[in-house]
Amino acid sequence: DTGVSQDPRHKITKRGQNVTFRCDPISEHNRLYWYRQTLGQGPEFLTYFQNEAQLEKSRLLSDRFSAERPKGSFSTLEIQRTEQGDSAMYLCASSLIQDGYTFGSGTRLTVV
């Protein structure tokens, strides 16, 4: 297994468009997390899944954001009607319960 994969690495979109990011976790990891990182800041928690169940969502996750993890495998994060403030690096991480995070390389979103 090559680790956590995120696709695409970079995305440039016009304001108001919808975007979707994909995360493929390490196969045996049952927990999957989404974080957002803006320039010069540490990552901020958005949401996490245990298997296919979404167990927690941050207040940062507005109604325009939705995340899914069908069948407890890969996950998608969709942002509808993007705004310039959504420009950030979106990081995915996975873990086993009682183990540490493994992060992907992230998807850098630029909204113009």
Which positions touch another protein (CB under 8 A)? 4, 6, 31, 33, 40-45, 48, 56, 58, 91, 93, 95-106, 108
Q: 10 Å Cβ neighbour count for 5?
A: 15
What does the alpha-carbon distance between residue 72 and residue 90 come to, in Å, rounded to a whole number? 20
Chain centre to alpha carbon of residue 101:
14
Nearer to another protein, 76 or 105 (CB): 105
Nearer to another protein, 23 or 79 (CB): 23
Nearer to another protein, 16 or 47 (CB): 47
What does the alpha-carbon distance between residue 74 and residue 13 come to, in Å, rounded to a whole number? 23
Rounded to a whole number of angstroms, the minimum distance from the CB of residue 81 to another protein is: 26
